[in-house]
Amino acid sequence: MIVDGKKLAEEIKASLASEVLKFDKKIRLAVIQVGNDPVTEKFLEQKKKFGSAVGIDVRVYKLSEEISTTKLREKISEVIHVKENTGVIVQLPLPKQINTQYILDAIIPEKDPDTLSSKSIGLFTSGRSKILPPIVGAVKLILEKNSVEPRGKRAVVLGAGRLVGKPVAAWLINQGAAVTVIDENTLDSKAYTLNCDILISGVGKPNFIKMEMVKEGVIAIDCGTSESKSKVVGDMDPKISEKASLFTPVPGGVGPLTVAMLFKNLVELTKK
Count CB-CB contacts under 10 A for residue 37: 15
User: What stretches of 159-245 adopt beta strand conformation (E)?
Assistant: 178-182, 198-201, 219-222, 226-228, 231-233
What 8-state DSSP symbol labels residue 107?
A: S
Q: Are 139 and 254 in contact (CB under 8 A)?
A: yes
Please list the rounded mean pLDDT of every run of 10 residues in the chain (272 residues).
Answer: 94 96 93 86 90 97 96 97 96 94 97 97 94 97 96 96 94 96 86 95 92 96 84 91 96 94 97 80
Q: What is the pLDDT of residue 258?
A: 96
Q: What is the pLDDT of residue 36?
A: 83
Which superfamily is assigned to 134-255 in CATH? Answer: NAD(P)-binding Rossmann-like Domain (3.40.50.720)
Burial of 128 (0-12, 13-18, 19+ CB in 10 A): exposed
In the chain, the amino acid numbered 249 is P
Q: What is the pLDDT of residue 116?
A: 97
Q: Are 197 and 153 in contact (CB under 8 A)?
A: yes
Residue limits of CATH 3.40.50.720 in the chain: 134-255
Q: 199 in helix, strand or coil? A: strand
Give CA–CA dist 87/29, Å, rounded: 5
Residue 58: beta bridge partners? 29
State pTM to two decimals: 0.94
Burial of 235 (0-12, 13-18, 19+ CB in 10 A): buried
Closest CA to 47 of 227, 271, 265: 265
Q: Are 34 and 67 in contact (CB under 8 A)?
A: yes
The set of residues, in sequence order, having a beta carbon less than 8 Å from that of 231 and lying 6+ positions away, is none
**Domain 24-108: which CATH number of 3.40.50.20, 3.90.950.10, 3.60.15.10, 3.40.50.10860:** 3.40.50.10860
Provide the terminal-to-terminal Cα distance of the chain, rounded to the nearest Å.
37
Residue limits of CATH 3.40.50.10860 in the chain: 24-108
CA geometry: angle at 95 spanning 90 and 97, to 5°?
Answer: 115
Residue 245: beta bridge partners? none
Give CA–CA dist 145/3, Å, rounded: 10
Give CA–CA dist 150/172, Å, rounded: 7
